[in-house]
Amino acid sequence: MDYVFIDDLRIDTVIGIFDWERRIRQTVALDIEMRFDNTRPAATDRIEDTLDYKAVSKRLIAFVEAAEFQLVETLAERCAAIILDEFGVGHVRLRLSKPGAVRGSRAVGVQIERSRG
């Protein structure tokens, strides 16, 4: 099975449960693997036949920048749903992290896998 991936897509958003977090923008990082059969685009060499990772990235950037969730779990679920529903992806693995959120750790967050149907 083939995958199209986006690594370390960094986006500023309002995320967190504490009052101080609700007043600032924090960076979240997305790592995404989307199951997609690359046989056809490889044969045609046409962007129209691909899963356009730039279009996926732009859509997620717009969504996450405008979002104001408390939990990374909620934001991850919404991002996965956009990928599945709007881009015809059958399966997605998404890792959403908050760099620097916990002292002594590079990042914390969640990783989810979701499928259509």
Secondary structure (DSSP) of 36-104: ---HHHHHH--GGGS--HHHHHHHHHHHHHH-EES-HHHHHHHHHHHHHHHH--SEEEEEEEEETSSTT
Sketch the domain layout of the chain as residue ranges.
3-115
pLDDT for 117? 77
pLDDT for 102? 85
Active site (annotated) includes residue 98: yes
Fold category of 3-115 in CATH: GTP Cyclohydrolase I, domain 2 (3.30.1130)
Which residue among the candidates 13, 36, 94, 98 is catalytic per the annotation?
A: 98
Q: Which two tokens stand for residue 44?
A: 């045609």
- pTM (2 decimals)? 0.94
Per-residue pLDDT band for 2 (boundaries 50, 70, 90) equals very high
Residue with tokens 């897509």, as numbered in its chain: 9
pLDDT for 100? 85
**Tens digits of per-residue pLDDT, 24-73?**
999 999 999 999 999 999 999 999 999 999 999 999 999 999 999 999 99
